[in-house]
């Protein structure tokens, strides 16, 4: 980046450090922090949408739909998270390629499953080998977002289902006595009031989502954990900027980043809880009324 960085072997002290910290790989490392933030900002609403759909389905009076909703929420209880992530990435990738294979290569006669290999025609591969690098990265990121959304959507469904059940039954009966249909009662009474009951669980889920972002490294996305390990490892004299094993310092930087991110989240979620608690018959709402009096 700097003009004096053309010959790293002649640098010492702060000059060497300034050139080292502005290499192309370090710029990718800094950009990977944005990847983590983008993953959180995209995954959170999508997972919440999945969770709302799962919770609504679990309350449905249509038996197959109710079974689907309860089955979706049940997957979050007995299977380790890492098994979810590794399974869904492989399953989704193969499912997308299989569908493209059926459309693009209808005359293909060989089996897709050949022993341990999953083989589709070249034009059905995702992404294509001729695609630009950003296409490969965008595809991997999209798979990661979808995987995170499915997994954390199941957890969100459990939280939202409990929140829906926590809305006072008397209010639902009052709405029904005024002639509201089941749909009107759901959208006008249950949904507006369930959020205050769901927020504590959703807040914890957000924190868990933050802590789960290093799993991007396992999904093939070059995230902050990947670059911290890559840049912090021992670099011998064959590299432009040789140094000993500095992974401790890189991962210490990640520790500070995650602690700062969770602290900011706590402040925002605390203010949101206080806002939603106004006038609500909850512990937080009662505490607000006592403080005001």
Query: Tokens standing for 288?
Result: 């607000």
Instruction: Return the DSSP state at 85.
Output: H
| Tens-digit pLDDT profile for residues 74-93 | 877 777 777 777 787 888 88
Query: Tokens standing for 233?
Result: 């490892």
Position 263 confidence tier, pLDDT thresholds 50, 70, 90? very high
- 65 domain residue, yes or no: yes
| Tens-digit pLDDT profile for residues 193-211 | 888 889 989 999 999 999 8
Helix, strand, coil percentages (3-state) for the chain, rounded to 5, are 75, 0, 25
CA-nearest of 20, 15, 14 to 4 is 15
In angstroms, the CA 188 to CA 171 distance is 11
Query: So what's the pLDDT on residue 245?
Result: 92
Give me the chain's average pLDDT, please: 85
Instruction: Find the CATH number of the domain harbouring 68.
Output: 1.10.3720.10
In this structure, are residues 152 and 47 in contact, taking their beta carbons and an 8 Å threshold? yes
In this structure, are residues 175 and 141 in contact, taking their beta carbons and an 8 Å threshold? no
Q: Specify the higher pLDDT residue, 30 or 287.
A: 30
How many independent structural domains does the chain possess? 1
| Tens-digit pLDDT profile for residues 97-135 | 888 888 888 888 788 887 777 888 888 888 777 778 778
* Arithmetic mean of pLDDT, 151-167: 91
Query: Tokens standing for 263?
Result: 């602290």
**pLDDT tops 90 at residue 283:** no
Position 1 confidence tier, pLDDT thresholds 50, 70, 90? low
Q: Containing domain of residue 281, as a range? A: 3-7+18-292
- 12 domain residue, yes or no: no
- 270 domain residue, yes or no: yes
Q: How far is CA 183 from CA 163, 166, 168, 170, 189, in A?
A: 17, 18, 17, 17, 10
- 50 domain residue, yes or no: yes
* Arithmetic mean of pLDDT, 45-67: 91
In angstroms, the CA 285 to CA 21 distance is 49
**pLDDT tops 90 at residue 234:** no
- 13 domain residue, yes or no: no
- 257 domain residue, yes or no: yes
């Amino acid at each position: 980046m700097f003009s004096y960085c053309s010959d790293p072997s002649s640098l010492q002290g702060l000059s060497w450090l300034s050139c080292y910290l502005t290499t192309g790989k370090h710029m990718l490392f800094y950009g990977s922090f944005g990847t983590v933030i983008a993953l959180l900002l995209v995954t959170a609403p999508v997972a919440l949408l999945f969770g709302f759909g799962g919770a609504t389905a679990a309350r449905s009076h249509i038996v197959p739909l109710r079974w689907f909703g309860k089955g979706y929420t049940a997957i979050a209880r007995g299977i380790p998270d890492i098994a979810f992530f590794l399974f869904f990435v492989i399953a989704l990738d193969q499912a997308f390629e299989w569908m493209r294979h059926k459309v693009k290569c209808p005359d293909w006669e060989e089996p897709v499953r050949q022993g341990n290999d999953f083989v589709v025609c070249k034009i059905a591969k995702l992404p294509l080998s001729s695609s630009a690098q950003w296409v490969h990265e965008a595809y991997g990121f999209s798979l990661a977002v979808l995987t995170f959304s499915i997994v954390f959507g199941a957890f969100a469904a459990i939280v939202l289902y409990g929140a829906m059940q926590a809305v006072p039954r008397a209010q639902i009966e009052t709405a029904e006595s005024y002639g509201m249909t089941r749909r009107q009662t759901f959208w006008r009474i249950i949904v507006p009031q369930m959020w205050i009951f769901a927020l504590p669980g959703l807040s914890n889920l957000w924190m868990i989502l933050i802590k789960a972002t290093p799993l991007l490294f396992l999904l093939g996305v070059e995230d902050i954990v990947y670059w911290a390990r890559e840049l912090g490892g021992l670099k011998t004299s064959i590299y432009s900027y040789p140094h000993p094993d500095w992974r401790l310092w890189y991962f210490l930087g990640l520790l500070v980043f995650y602690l700062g991110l969770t602290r900011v989240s706590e402040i925002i979620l605390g203010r949101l809880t206080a806002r939603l608690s106004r006038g609500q018959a909850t512990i937080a709402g009662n505490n607000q009324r006592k403080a005001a009096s």
